[in-house]
Amino acid sequence: MTRSTGSEDGIRVAVSTVILTMRRDGTLRQSQGSAPRIALPLVRRTRDPHAGAWALPGGWLDAHEGLAAAAARTLAETTGLAPSYLEQLYAFGAVDRSPSRVISVVYWALLREDLVDQQLAAHRAAGEEIENVAWFDASALPDLAFDHADIIEYALWRLRNKAGYSRVAQGFLPPEFTLADLREAYETILGRRLDPANFRRQVDATRTLIPTNAFRTGSHRPARLYRDATDVELADRGPLAPEETRTS
Amino acid sequence: MTRSTGSEDGIRVAVSTVILTMRRDGTLRQSQGSAPRIALPLVRRTRDPHAGAWALPGGWLDAHEGLAAAAARTLAETTGLAPSYLEQLYAFGAVDRSPSRVISVVYWALLREDLVDQQLAAHRAAGEEIENVAWFDASALPDLAFDHADIIEYALWRLRNKAGYSRVAQGFLPPEFTLADLREAYETILGRRLDPANFRRQVDATRTLIPTNAFRTGSHRPARLYRDATDVELADRGPLAPEETRTS
């Protein structure tokens, strides 16, 4: 077995996070139309390689921190965000993905739009500046550094795929939501309209939603609010212990 | 953003592979019974940490090779095996998983039993010795080094899970097989008996098997041989390009 003698092999480990939310406002860069969009924050690089290009939030792994902790820490440091759901996506390690040899362990995360706004408002209130960050419509991305365009494409594929067999779409919604909210989240993820009656039947069949006694009123007829039946994670990760994301 | 100044951070990157086959003979260590078993090769460690313990085949990532290429290379070097299917499982990076800081990018692979025997026979014929390797029943593993017991448990969960929504079970079978062969592969993966008539109906519904004009004859009544309808990969990996596994 070939053995390197240590880390003078020049291989470095970075972490990055694709953090997705669903936004319905018009503040996204390069976005058109008013339907809700899958959106994500990108960070403008201030140094080479790829100075000036947009990149995923991330940074170097510290020798004394776990991978998920590093993802959470670098996400907080660059964007001020703390996700409600964080899962490892993939380790990207093509030899030519960076001028030096960098293995990027990439996480993906979901965050509700109202928490995005809440978290960013808290930073503003504390006088903390989040610089060089902008939110983009996932379907209208700018030029990206490294292989980050491929990474985001893969994360969106994973989200669409996972929406088919897990409750991951609820990661975009507050604890109480209407069936129309839930259908809209699925429609935004899948990029197509769903028949309301069929959607309701499918949701009923899963028996994972509990009707509350509350209704949303407004310009439409009152819509019942539902909440999730379980407190378990949004997707089954099997025997993989939830990774420690506490940053030391 | 915290930046390390290079790889003097002491973090090293290793690759390991959980390579699974289905064996029906009695040569597995610690195995009982004659039903086919999910089996995997383990390598006895000859040096510390964990000298004498069994470990997954693997080794250090070389600075000039891709991750999948490193998995294929270290698998070949330690066990003499070349898998028919190789996919990234997960990057394991807990701070305390090894006395020094090692990120292990783990792959999982499937290999048909007849190819295992063929590949090992070719090595013997060439006078190449494969040392310190033994095959184990996945449900009767010995004491394992590092977090390799958790890693194998996660790989088996992924296999069971993936068998539910992909054709991955066919990775254990030769190109032509009977429906009983296929059912047996699923039964072995899932660890429970499947009703033959239900199984046939489900397979028919997927329309992915093509009946051939050949039959297997033997002690039972002749059974028709089937082959897979497509040449595509056994599981949809989405936009993730198949990784280059050629070793340079």
Q: What is the pLDDT of residues B11-33, one digit of tens each?
A: 999 999 999 999 987 678 877 76
Please name which of B87, B82, B90, B20 lies closest in space to residue B238, comparing C-alpha atoms.
B87
pLDDT tens-digit readout, B168-178: 888 899 989 99
Nearest CA-CA distance, residue A110 and chain B, Å: 20
Please name which of B27, B7, B217, B152 lies closest in space to residue A13, comparing C-alpha atoms.
B7
> Would an 8 Å CB–CB cutoff place A218 in contact with chain B?
no
Please name which of B128, B126, B107 lies closest in space to residue B40, comparing C-alpha atoms.
B107
pLDDT tens-digit readout, A120-142: 999 999 998 888 999 999 999 99
Query: pLDDT at position B139, please?
Result: 92
Cα distance between residue B179 and residue B211, in whole Å: 10
Q: Is pLDDT at B222 greater than 70 in this prediction?
A: yes
User: Where does the pLDDT of residue A67 fall: very low under 50, low under 70, confident under 90, or very high at 90 and above?
Assistant: very high
Nearest CA-CA distance, residue B27 and chain A, Å: 26
Q: Is pLDDT at B159 greater than 60 in this prediction?
A: yes
Candidate from A28-37, A82-91, B86-95, B230-239 with smallest mean pLDDT: B230-239
> Would an 8 Å CB–CB cutoff place A47 in contact with chain B?
no
Structure tokens at A216: 């949303």
Among A18, A61, A148, the strongest candidate for a mutation testing the B interface, having the largest count of B CBs within 10 A, is A61
Place of tokens 């990207």: A92
Determine the Cα angle at A14 with ends B238 and B149, to 5°: 70
Instruction: Label the pairing between strands B54-55 and B133-137.
Output: unpaired
A contacts of B158 (beta carbons < 8 Å): 238
The mean pLDDT value of chain B amounts to: 88
Candidate from A36-45, A52-61, B114-123, B227-236 with smallest mean pLDDT: B227-236
User: Where does the pLDDT of residue A204 fall: very low under 50, low under 70, confident under 90, or very high at 90 and above?
Assistant: confident
pLDDT tens-digit readout, A68-124: 999 999 999 999 999 877 899 999 999 999 999 999 999 999 999 889 999 999 999
> Would an 8 Å CB–CB cutoff place B161 in contact with chain A?
yes
Please name which of A30, A20, A19, A63 lies closest in space to residue A140, comparing C-alpha atoms.
A30
User: Where does the pLDDT of residue A223 fall: very low under 50, low under 70, confident under 90, or very high at 90 and above?
Assistant: very high
Q: Which of B59, B90, B94 sits opposite A3 (nearest CB)?
A: B59
Mean predicted confidence (pLDDT) in B206-231: 85
Query: pLDDT at position B4, please?
Result: 38
Nearest CA-CA distance, residue B56 and chain A, Å: 13
Task: Kindly provide the ipTM of the predicted complex, given to two decimals.
Answer: 0.88
User: How many other β-carbons are positioned within 10 Å of the β-carbon of residue B225?
Assistant: 18
Most confident of A110-119, B39-48, B228-237: B39-48
User: Where does the pLDDT of residue A47 fall: very low under 50, low under 70, confident under 90, or very high at 90 and above?
Assistant: very high
Cα distance between residue A5 and residue A61, in whole Å: 20
User: Where does the pLDDT of residue B241 fall: very low under 50, low under 70, confident under 90, or very high at 90 and above?
Assistant: low
Please state the domain extents for chain B: 12-238
Cα distance between residue B148 and residue B94, in whole Å: 12
User: How many other β-carbons are positioned within 10 Å of the β-carbon of residue B144?
Assistant: 19
Please name which of B163, B186, B144 lies closest in space to residue B55, comparing C-alpha atoms.
B144
User: Where does the pLDDT of residue A6 fall: very low under 50, low under 70, confident under 90, or very high at 90 and above?
Assistant: very low
Return residues 93-112 of B near A (CB < 8 Å).
93-95, 101, 103, 105
Q: Is pLDDT at B134 greater than 70 in this prediction?
A: yes
Cis link prior to B49 (omega < 30° from 0)? yes
pLDDT tens-digit readout, A163-172: 887 888 888 9
Q: Is pLDDT at A182 greater than 80 in this prediction?
A: yes
Contact B108, B18 (CB under 8 A): yes
Q: Is pLDDT at B9 greater than 80 in this prediction?
A: no
- Say which DSSP state B29 is in: B
A contacts of B239 (beta carbons < 8 Å): 150, 153-154, 157
Helices and strands (H and E) in chain B: how many: 5, 10
Please name which of A11, A84, A36, A20 lies closest in space to residue A245, comparing C-alpha atoms.
A84
Cis link prior to B242 (omega < 30° from 0)? no
The mean pLDDT value of chain A amounts to: 88
pLDDT tens-digit readout, A142-162: 999 999 999 999 999 999 988
Determine the Cα angle at A40 with ends A86 and A83, to 5°: 25
Concatenated DSSP letters of A116-175: HHHHHHHHHHTT----SEEEEETTS---BSTTHHHHHHHHHHHHHHHHTTSSGGGGGS-S
Place of tokens 């139309």: A33
Structure tokens at B137: 């029943």
Mean predicted confidence (pLDDT) in B48-72: 96
Contact B88, B245 (CB under 8 A): no
Contact A177, A225 (CB under 8 A): yes
> Would an 8 Å CB–CB cutoff place B235 in contact with chain A?
no
Closest residue on chain B to A165 (Cα): B165
Structure tokens at A88: 């490892």
A contacts of B10 (beta carbons < 8 Å): 6-7, 63
Place of tokens 């964007």: A79
User: Where does the pLDDT of residue A221 fall: very low under 50, low under 70, confident under 90, or very high at 90 and above?
Assistant: confident
Indicate the pTM of the whole model.
Answer: 0.89
pLDDT tens-digit readout, B78-103: 999 998 778 999 999 999 999 999 99
Q: Is pLDDT at B40 greater than 90 in this prediction?
A: yes
> Would an 8 Å CB–CB cutoff place B7 in contact with chain A?
yes
User: How many other β-carbons are positioned within 10 Å of the β-carbon of residue A233?
Assistant: 13
Kindly determine whether residue B63 and residue A157, on different chains, have CB atoms separated by under 8 Å.
no
Contact B87, B235 (CB under 8 A): yes
Query: pLDDT at position B163, please?
Result: 87
Q: Which of A63, A78, A101 sits opposite B10 (nearest CB)?
A: A63
CATH of region B12-238, choose from 3.40.50.11540, 3.90.79.10, 3.90.550.10, 3.90.420.10: 3.90.79.10
- Say which DSSP state A111 is in: -
